[in-house]
Amino acid sequence: MDVLGNGLDRGKMAGLESSSALPHRTGPLPPQVLTIAGSDSGGGAGIQADIKAIQANGAFAMSVLTSVTAQNTKAVTTAFDLPLRVIEAQFNAVFDDFDVAAVKTGMLSSKGIVKRVSLLLKQRPVRNLVVDPVMVSKSGYSLLKPDAVALVKSELIPLAVLVTPNIHEAELLAEMKIRTLCEAEEAARKIFTFGCRAVLVKGGHLPEQRGCDLLFDGEKTTVLKGEWIDTPHTHGTGCTYSAAIATHLARGKPIDQAVQSAKNYVTEAIRHALPIGHGHGPTHHFYFLTPPD
């Protein structure tokens, strides 16, 4: 096989006679979905999980990196926020070139990042913004400074078509304890008043009725019943879930259908979770694929 370099004729690729040998694509192009989040060096959560989930659910993934974390299945050991000008440059590079059908936000660790990302999203309105208010890692490492929570409420959430807090995040946003689905609904109603179009409280950490999530759209409350899979390997499930929702919104589904499709997907990704590392292993984003020979 040829090696790329000066020895190849223009228009040819390594190992191919000409570009005409490439298969022709048929059908519509996939929608383009952007994730704005922090990285996970272990690959199970954060922007790495988002990209896998977006691609697995039928869209083309793009990314704006906000923070770099040193992380594995056991813990987050340190984090570094990228300069605001670099975050903004990434954002503008994507929007200047791509037709962005949906955006998902994840780790926005500081007041400065929350404020800048919110401003950028106001300047470039998107059809479908899913806000995953990432606050604390599974190992307990803070991923959102306490003084930034108020800005998430006042600047970011009002832009969202959907906000997807877990129980701990919903408690912080609604300033109340959540132990039951009734309390989850009360919290969702409080978060809804911040200006979003809908709230999904993820119930994986509920003491009772585990596996059930609660969706409130301002008029109707829907309990999404699900299977509780007893496994420690759930690293990155929140990131995966919200990214999958954004993808199904980009594909044209209404909120309730997008959430249900994403829940079905993340349930199977957990069922096929990978027991790798020495802590909480990651979900399997491509459980349905058979590697080629």
Which range of residues forms the domain containing residue 175?
A: 30-179+233-271
Is 46 annotated in the active site?
Answer: no
State the average pLDDT over residues 184-211. 90
pLDDT confidence of residue 145: 82
For residue 281, is it within any domain?
no
Is 202 annotated in the active site?
Answer: yes
For residue 204, is it within any domain?
no
User: Which residue is catalytic, options 234, 247, 267, 283?
Assistant: 234
User: Which residue is catalytic, options 44, 204, 226, 236?
Assistant: 236
Report helix, strand or coil for 283: coil
The residues that bridge with 223 in the sheet, in sequence order, are 214
Is 237 annotated in the active site?
Answer: yes
For residue 101, is it within any domain?
yes
Give the CA-trace dihedral at 50, 186, 179, 110, to 10 degrees. Answer: 40
pLDDT confidence of residue 226: 86
CA 285 from chain centre, in angstroms, equals 12
For residue 148, is it within any domain?
yes
Is 145 annotated in the active site?
Answer: no
pTM: 0.90
| Average pLDDT for the chain | 89
User: Which residue is catalytic, options 66, 237, 240, 247?
Assistant: 237
List the Cα angle 254/52/164 in 5-degree steps: 45
Is 11 annotated in the active site?
Answer: no
Compute the distance between CA of residue 160 and CA of residue 215 in angstroms, rounded to an integer.
14
Reply yes or no on whether the pLDDT at 19 is more than 70: no
- What CATH number should be reported for the domain holding residue 251? 3.40.1190.20
User: Which residue is catalytic, options 38, 46, 203, 239?
Assistant: 239
State the average pLDDT over residues 32-41. 97
Q: Categorize the per-residue pLDDT at 140 as very low, low, confident or very high, splitting at 50, 70 and 90.
A: low
For residue 206, is it within any domain?
no
What's the structural domain count of the chain?
Answer: 1
User: Which residue is catalytic, options 238, 263, 267, 283?
Assistant: 238
User: Which residue is catalytic, options 35, 202, 263, 267?
Assistant: 202
First-to-last CA distance in the chain? 19
For residue 155, is it within any domain?
yes
Is 253 annotated in the active site?
Answer: no
